[in-house]
Structure 1
């Protein structure tokens, strides 16, 4: 089974804050601080963090890559790297601005709109001028409150920091997925959220071995129709397409970041037959695994 962080060419980065920030679930630094902490330039190589990174580009130009998509960076661009995404700071030598590193638990329990945003959304987007000024003010306030919490050593400040972080995410993040209440009302929407989160966790654990939605539905105690409704409400994709896209993403990571033979890449994501893997990959990616690998190597 493929597990996060098991590809040798991808550096697994675990949340490891400065000692004084431990216990708060977040910290604020800058691109300048990132460069100073990374003289070996590990930032330019593929890495997979187990925490969130929200970066705001105040000045300069650069590039960021998230799972094979390049994003140009410029003034007022916001980068949100979610846990598990394979990314690299392709060029941030001339970029300035704040970065907020935070764990998922930092804002848990602060409501569906915030928690929903953490699942999906573009890794990079440009922010309007009015929202941008408010976002920078939000980061500054978050940094000041974090410094005060560290100075006091008050664990009770964690709730305050979580609310400030939530406000910042709502300001710069994309709109959260719409969870239609329908005839079931708010309780039905909350139920769909729970269904999707359970399905998502099950897919992360089993996508490399199990490719049929019926098996997940049986394991979780839902119908396929229920899984499909909840997954489409969250991601815009049906349950089957969501599963297929997750398998495809890991296949791309294997092709791009390892030198495994094509057939072996297919085996790592659950295809015992190389022809079936090639057909699956071509149907979703629009190219054969070999052609896709060649194109990825030439980037």
Structure 2
């Protein structure tokens, strides 16, 4: 089993509908239900693509990485690649789902930064005054997507990428993901390279010095850039990414703690237990006991092919 493969969790690969091979797909919740008469959407799944959902009406529930979110009108949901989630109740929902491949938002900028942020918000409520603009943006994207499917042209993919970036910028909560005021462009570029390297190697590289050497920076440069971009030091950012995957392994696999440690590059179970307890305050076995596959918790401070 690879690190990202969890028995009992559906692994969803990006597979666009025929004619929609541009890297993005737009559908609605009615279409989702029609595509899934067996109700597999209510079971745990892990996509390798982005799902951006806008709830236009109705109510329901969604869970992602151990948090349960209520859904209602003006709710925005962003499921990033690798997140373990399920549509716990989507029977009465109406709205839009935008599926897009990693890297589709390739042009540097705040939209691409938001897509690359593995710790970005999952669920939030759009402000009432901007909601009509959000719906207008996704409807425009949907029309261009339909036009590209029926009559593809060389302009289809660039148009869709621009419209998707506009949608992302429109729906994002006010807090992000613009570059923090204290983060210079050069520092932000360093952080983007570090973040990408962490996402690729967190299961085998646990020391900031290894990333600094591979990227050609000093440790202080990485720490300064990461702190300016996120408020966290480079080591803390790396540890949080390792911890997130450790929690997914513990919650969604039956692997012994020692095997989880092995999957995440720890030399032995004792080292892993020390790391996990330092981050969470409890040993892995106790954390696992309280976070089984069916158990989720309510968010404490967030207003926040699936």
1:263-282 matches, within 5 Å, as 263-282=258-277
Identify which of 98, 102, 119 aligns with 1:100.
98
Of 73-82 and 264-273, deviating more is 264-273
Q: Secondary structure at the match of 1:205?
A: helix
TM-score for the superposition, normalised by structure 1: 0.90
Aligned residue pairs, count: 290
Q: 1:54 to 1:261 in 2, by over 3 A?
A: same
Alpha-carbon distance between aligned partners in 2 of 1:278 and 1:80, rounded to the nearest angstrom: 31
Corresponding position of 2:127? 128
Indicate whether 1:53 and 2:48 are aligned. no
Look up the SS of the partner of 1:166 in the other structure. Answer: helix
| 1:194 corresponds to which of 189, 193, 198 | 189
Give yes or no for contact 1:77–1:125 (8 Å, CA) kept in 2: yes
Confirm or deny that 1:295 pairs with 2:296.
no
Taking the aligned partners of 1:91 and 1:233, their CA distance within structure 2 comes to: 39
Contact 2:3 2:264 in 1 (8 A): no
Q: How does 1:1-299 map to 2 (within 5 A)?
A: 3-4=3-4, 6-22=5-21, 24-109=22-107, 111-120=108-117, 121-174=120-173, 175-180=176-181, 189=185, 191-297=186-292, 299=295
Where relative contact order (Cα < 8 A, 6+ residues apart) is larger, the structure is 2
Structure 2 residues not aligned, in runs of 5+: 296-306
Give the Cα–Cα distance (whole angstroms) in 1 for the partners of residues 106 and 271 of structure 2. 41
Which structure's residues are more often helix, by fraction?
A: 1
Unaligned residue ranges in structure 1 (runs of 5+): 183-187
Q: 1:57 touches 1:78 (CA, 8 Å); kept in 2? A: yes
Rounded Cα–Cα distance in structure 1 between residues aligned with 2:286 and 2:114: 34
Map of 1:185 onto structure 2: none
| Distance (whole Å) between structure 2 residues aligned to residue 173 and residue 89 of structure 1 | 21
State TM-score, norm by structure 2.
Answer: 0.88
CA distance in 2, matches of 1:103, 1:260: 30
